[in-house]
């Protein structure tokens, strides 16, 4: 073709990336890879290897070791041996290694880009321009955190050995998100890459050797789901960090429930892409190309649900259909390709079958007339219209290049539709009116909100989900904390099981005190700002420390828990109240408790056999604690990040929603106010189960709440048997987090029940904290548990 003809056609010619260097690297390893354990390559005990395939051609790229339990054991042991020295190396020592890794990634960027493109099927252009630069950026950023760790996180220690499991959609990038913060904080790592895309993890292992990383600091075990299962279940792993599907996330939550492993889960999504009628529609179309056709739509935070303002729906869809016709599908190593291959036959089949089901449900399917390559696993960009909000296409993560469209009429309707899935990973909002966009952002249940942009990531800005998209963040300060533990938490004493739990016999089974009969004082449940009787109509006796009858409390049941959660739900306005308002109310609570201090001290004396001084001390410390919670109301601020590119990222500290609190037995008043009022200070609503031994001090406290202008439903109290009530609370879909400080034996049941909506569980694993110590009983750690970071990306400039 002559140049003149080429100008006439204005068509793309082939622009293939040269894969020679990456293929030579595979050949140098004879296309067979062992496990990377303790700094060396080791054959798997099973002597079995699996194939890693190029999805664009069907060719086998290499054979990769399949690690079994014995190999995982060896890798964890290597990481354990390496960890003390790695921590002892100090901040600057670790920073040098992370910096060296960043440089090494840059030096071999071409090889790494081609390898992931071959192994995963993703376009080379995206690997070269997005994935690899972000990988290097992650190591640079965390080299900085390694350097600053002692200064920025005084009194914190690494957790120990991190077991990390990653998916196939961003193989090298997910590795960086896992390994960089773990190493920066002094942990050592055993990482399992996804079985479809192990090659860049193995190439990274080699970079670790090249920079002289001490043996055992990073270990790579390849294999399928059973290798991952062996890793997360390993008893010597201290922290599990998982990225993958919500389904496997649930399995991992269950599998780790009976251990004290710390857990972060980065799971799936079905993210809304909201376009208002005043949006720049051409920009929104380009946003959609990035939102759903980037990486073939195999993106956890893909903008897979287009919610478009009704007046502009047809116009936007017309533009979108035209743009779909210009997207180029084809060989991923061609630099002019927009959409590459789907990772594996099973994924292609999943996409096809979900689209078929959507069409069978009544959806209209549009696919551009784009030629597909003759061989390889390709699926065309797809648009599904005529979709109802409850349909499979609107609810299920397809994880492919499929966009579902719905319309809305008002901002409220947009919010309702946007939040109408169990997920909460990300959202995009398109409007030229900054007030509209920023007004919507806090109302969206999502860990990341992009204004007039989409799929922006940076190492300084935490990424992670709400609800069934998981918990924990990767990136930024909030991501780092997930690998650290305050030193005092290492030294907590184990709690005994309570000596006395609620008697099984009902009303009247304990002997009276023999004191003259006063006027009966009936403790009730406290739900929605009202004192209520228990649904079951039963009460149970409460005894003094020496076994005398002290009174009765209602025996709450699952219906009472449900009522309390519903009351908390109705009090949603608290979440949007400002810190100053909340602070004033909490100060007033403290004032009213102080006013009745002697009465509360007397009650504590009766219940706990504390002497006068200690009972007064508990009340006075409680008043002080409420002051501390009130003080934090308007100070637990977010941050503004300035990541590369022209964006500001506003990191908001958002309340979790409704928090279920199971109170400990010790310091019954102080522990309750510390937990409940910090949660409330951060804008949450609370359903609390007092300790069964000392519930009366908490039921007395609702009178203080009533006189202090605490809105109905913000604090709810259900007495009864925690062993029965706490799994109900932990399993309730409208409870966003559970704080369990009850009897050690209840911890596993609560963690297991929490899988219902993947709620965040906070517990000290049956260890007791000193509620009088402000470091343990108040402040930042409680507020961190009471909030989740939402990063709102706001671009600037023309």
Nearer to ligand NAD, 33 or 168 (CB): 168
Per the document, the length of the chain is: 798
Helix residue spans in 234-304 (DSSP H): 246-255, 281-292
Interacting positions 639-658 with ligand NAD (CB under 6 A): none
Q: Which residues contact 629 (CB under 8 A, 6 or more apart)?
A: 586, 673, 674, 677, 678, 680, 681, 778
Q: Which is nearer to ligand NAD, 717 or 755 (CB)?
A: 755
Using CB under 6 A as the binding criterion, the count of chain residues that bind ligand NAD stands at 30
**Residue carrying the six token digits 């084809």:** 330
Q: How many CB atoms lie within 10 A of CB 512?
A: 11
Would you say 164 or 684 has its CB closer to ligand NAD?
164
Which 254-293 positions form the footprint of ligand NAD (CB under 6 A)?
A: 266-269
In this structure, are residues 270 and 304 in contact, taking their beta carbons and an 8 Å threshold? yes
What is the C-alpha separation between 599 and 619, in angstroms, rounded? 10
Evaluate whether 119 touches 199 at the Cβ level (below 8 Å). Answer: yes
Binding to ligand NAD in span 574-613, by CB under 6 A: none
Q: Return the residues of window 406-425 that contact ligand NAD according to CB under 6 A.
A: 425
Whole-number Å distance between alpha carbons of 305 and 228:
31
Report whether 129 contacts 117 (CB < 8 A): no
Q: How far apart are CA 343 and CA 121, in angstroms?
A: 6
**CA quadruple 141, 146, 147, 153: dihedral positive or negative?**
positive
- x/- mask, ligand NAD, residues 615-634, rule CB under 6 A, reads --------------------
The least distance separating ligand NAD from the CB of residue 398, rounded to whole angstroms, comes to 10
Contacts to ligand NAD from residues 522-561, by CB under 6 A: none
Q: Which is nearer to ligand NAD, 248 or 735 (CB)?
A: 248
- Nearer to ligand NAD by Cβ, of 17 and 397: the residue is 397
Question: Shortest Cβ distance from residue 532 to ligand NAD (Å)?
Answer: 40
For the window 162-201, what string marks contact with ligand NAD as x by the rule CB under 6 A? ---xxxxx----------------------x-xx------
Q: Is the dihedral of CA 619, 621, 627, 628 positive or negative?
A: negative
Residues 6+ apart with CB under 8 A from 8: none
Q: Interface residues for ligand NAD in 297-316 (CB under 6 A)?
A: 300
Give least dist CB 242 to ligand NAD, A: 7
User: What is the rounded CA–CA span in Å between residue 205 and residue 624?
Assistant: 52
Residue 499 falls in the annotated catalytic set: no
Rounded to an integer, what distance in angstroms lies between the CA atom of residue 536 and that of residue 556?
7
CB atoms within 10 A of CB 545: 15
Question: Could you tell me which stretch among 221-229, 270-278, 332-340, 400-408 binds ligand NAD (CB under 6 A)?
Answer: 221-229
Instruction: Tell me whether residue 266 or residue 665 sits nearer to ligand NAD (CB atom).
Output: 266
* DSSP characters over 463-524: B--SGGGEE--BSHHHHHHTTEEEGGGGGPPBPPPPS----SS-TT-SPP--PPP-------
Residue 642 CB contacts under 8 Å (≥ 6 apart), including other chains:
648, 649
Q: Indicate the residue among 298 and 334 with the shorter CB distance to ligand NAD.
A: 298
By CB atoms closer than 10 A (0-12, 13-18, 19+), residue 715 is: buried
Rounded least distance, CB 292 to ligand NAD, Å: 13
Residue 350 Cβ, how far from ligand NAD at the closest point, in Å?
9
Stretch that binds ligand NAD, among 161-169, 406-414, 454-462, 557-565 (CB under 6 A): 161-169
CB of 240 to ligand NAD, least distance (A): 9
x/- site string to ligand NAD, residues 447 to 476, per CB under 6 A? ------------------x---xx------
Round to whole Å and give the CA distance between 613 and 592. 20
Token digits of residue 413: 């309707």
Interface of this chain with ligand NAD, residues 470 to 509, rule: CB under 6 A: 470
Q: Quick one: which of 397, 468, 482, 552 contacts ligand NAD (CB under 6 A)?
A: 397
Instruction: Measure the CA–CA gap between 568 and 680, rounded to whole angstroms.
Output: 11
CB of 168 to ligand NAD, least distance (A): 5
Q: Which of 195, 208, 298, 300 is catalytic?
A: 300
Query: Least CB distance from residue 248 to ligand NAD, whole Å?
Result: 3
Q: Which of residues 677-716 bind ligand NAD (CB under 6 A)?
A: none
Q: Judged by CB under 6 A, which of 145, 293, 399, 526 binds ligand NAD?
A: 399
Cβ atoms of 509 and 503 closer than 8 Å = yes
Please report, for residues 18, 378, 592, the alpha-carbon distance to residue 375 in angstroms, rounded to integers and kept in the order given. 20, 8, 75
Q: What would the two tokens of residue 535 be?
A: 């649904």
Decide whether 428 or 622 has the Cβ nearer to ligand NAD: 428
Least separation in angstroms between residue 531's CB and ligand NAD is 43
Mark 223-252 with x for binding to ligand NAD (rule: CB under 6 A) and - for no binding: -xx--xx--x----------xxx--x--xx
Active site residue 208: no
Q: How far apart are CA 219 and CA 712, in angstroms?
A: 53
Rounded to the nearest whole angstrom, what is the least distance from the CB of residue 441 to ligand NAD in the complex? 19
Residue sitting closest to ligand NAD (CB): 228
CB of 397 to ligand NAD, least distance (A): 6
CB count in 10 Å sphere of residue 513: 14
Q: Pick the closer one to ligand NAD by CB: 344 or 440.
A: 344
Q: Which is nearer to ligand NAD, 131 or 665 (CB)?
A: 131
Candidate list 266, 468, 474, 665, residue with the active-site label? 266
- What is the rounded distance in angstroms from the CA atom of residue 743 to the CA atom of residue 160? 26
Residue 41: count other Cβ atoms within 10 Å of its Cβ.
16
Q: Kindly tell me which of 192 and 616 has the beta carbon lying closer to ligand NAD.
A: 192
Which positions are annotated as active-site residues?
A: 266, 300
Give the footprint of ligand NAD on this chain (CB under 6 A). 165-169, 192, 194-195, 224-225, 228-229, 232, 243-245, 248, 251-252, 266-269, 300, 397, 399, 425, 465, 469-470
């Amino acid at each position: 073709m002559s140049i003149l003809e080429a100008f006439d056609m204005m068509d793309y010619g082939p622009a293939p990336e040269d894969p020679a260097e990456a293929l030579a690297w595979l050949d140098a390893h004879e296309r067979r890879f062992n496990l990377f354990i303790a700094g060396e390559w080791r054959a798997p005990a099973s002597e079995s290897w699996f194939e890693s395939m190029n999805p664009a051609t069907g060719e086998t790229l290499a054979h990769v070791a399949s690690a079994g339990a014995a190999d995982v054991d060896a890798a964890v042991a290597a990481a354990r041996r390496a960890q003390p020295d790695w921590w002892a190396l100090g901040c600057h020592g670790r920073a040098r290694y992370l910096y060296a890794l960043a440089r090494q990634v840059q030096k071999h960027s071409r090889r790494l880009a081609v390898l992931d493109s071959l192994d995963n099927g993703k376009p080379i252009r995206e690997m070269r321009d997005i994935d690899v630069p972000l990988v290097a950026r992650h190591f640079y950023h965390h080299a900085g955190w390694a350097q600053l760790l002692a200064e920025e996180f005084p009194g914190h220690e690494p957790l120990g050995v991190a077991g990390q499991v990653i998916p196939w959609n961003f193989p090298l990038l997910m590795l960086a998100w896992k390994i960089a913060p773990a190493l920066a904080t002094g942990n050592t790592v055993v990482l399992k890459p996804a079985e479809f895309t192990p090659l860049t993890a193995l190439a990274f292992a080699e970079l670790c050797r090249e920079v002289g990383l001490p043996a055992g600091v990073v270990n790579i075990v390849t294999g399928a789901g059973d290798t991952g299962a062996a890793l997360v279940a390993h008893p010597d792993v201290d922290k599990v960090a998982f990225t993958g599907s919500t389904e496997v996330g649930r399995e991992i939550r269950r599998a780790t429930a009976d251990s004290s492993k710390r857990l972060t889960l980065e799971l799936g999504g079905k993210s809304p892409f909201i376009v208002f009628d005043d949006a720049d529609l051409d920009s929104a179309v380009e946003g959609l190309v990035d939102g759903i056709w980037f990486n073939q739509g195999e993106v956890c935070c893909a903008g897979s649900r287009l919610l478009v303002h009704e007046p502009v729906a047809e116009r936007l869809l017309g533009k979108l259909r035209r743009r779909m016709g210009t997207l180029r599908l084809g060989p991923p190593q061609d630099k002019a390709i927009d959409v590459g291959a789907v990772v594996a036959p099973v994924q292609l089949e999943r996409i096809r079958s979900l689209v078929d089901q959507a069409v069978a449900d009544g959806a209209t399917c549009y696919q551009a007339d784009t030629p597909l390559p003759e061989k390889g696993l390709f699926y065309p960009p797809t648009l599904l219209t005529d979709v109802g909000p409850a349909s499979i296409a609107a609810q299920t993560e397809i994880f492919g290049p499929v966009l579902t469209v719905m319309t809305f009429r008002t901002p409220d309707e947009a919010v309702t539709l946007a939040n109408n899935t169990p997920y909460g990973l990300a959202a995009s909002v398109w409007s030229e009116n900054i007030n509209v966009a920023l007004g919507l952002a806090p109302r969206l249940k999502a860990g990341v909100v992009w204004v007039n942009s989409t799929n922006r990531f940076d190492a300084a800005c935490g990424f992670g989900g709400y609800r069934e998209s998981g918990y924990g963040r990767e990136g930024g300060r909030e991501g780092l904390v997930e690998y650290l533990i305050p030193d005092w938490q290492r030294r907590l004493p184990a709690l005994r099981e309570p000596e006395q739990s609620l008697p099984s016999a009902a009303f009247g089974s304990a002997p009276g005190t023999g004191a003259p009969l006063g006027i009966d004082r009936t403790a009730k449940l406290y739900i929605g700002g009202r004192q209520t009787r228990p649904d079951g109509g039963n009460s149970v006796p409460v005894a003094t420390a020496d076994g005398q009858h002290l009174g009765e409390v209602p025996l709450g049941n699952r219906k009472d828990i449900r009522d309390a959660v519903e009351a908390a739900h109705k009090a949603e306005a608290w979440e949007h109240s400002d810190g100053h308002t909340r602070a004033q109310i909490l100060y007033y609570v403290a004032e009213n408790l102080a006013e009745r201090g002697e009465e509360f001290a007397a009650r504590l004396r009766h219940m706990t056999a504390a002497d006068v001084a200690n009972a007064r001390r508990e009340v006075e410390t409680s008043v002080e604690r409420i002051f501390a919670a009130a003080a934090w109301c308007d100070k637990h601020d977010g941050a503004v990040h300035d990541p590369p590119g022209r964006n500001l990222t506003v990191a908001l500290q958002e309340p979790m929603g409704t928090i279920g609190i199971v109170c400990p037995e010790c310091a019954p008043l102080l522990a309750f106010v510390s937990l409940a009022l910090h949660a409330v200070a951060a804008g949450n609503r609370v359903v609390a189960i007092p300790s069964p031994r000392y519930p009366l001090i908490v039921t007395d406290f609702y009178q203080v709440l009533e006189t202090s202008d605490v809105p109905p439903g913000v604090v709810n109290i259900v007495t009864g048997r925690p062993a029965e009530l706490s799994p109900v609370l932990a399993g309730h879909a409208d409870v966003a987090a559970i704080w369990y400080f009850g009897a050690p034996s209840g911890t596993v049941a609560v963690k297991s029940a929490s899988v219902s909506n993947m709620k965040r569980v906070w517990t000290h694993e049956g260890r007791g904290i000193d509620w009088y110590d402000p470091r343990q009983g108040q402040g930042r750690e409680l507020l961190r548990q009471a909030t989740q970071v939402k990063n709102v990306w706001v671009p600037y400039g023309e």
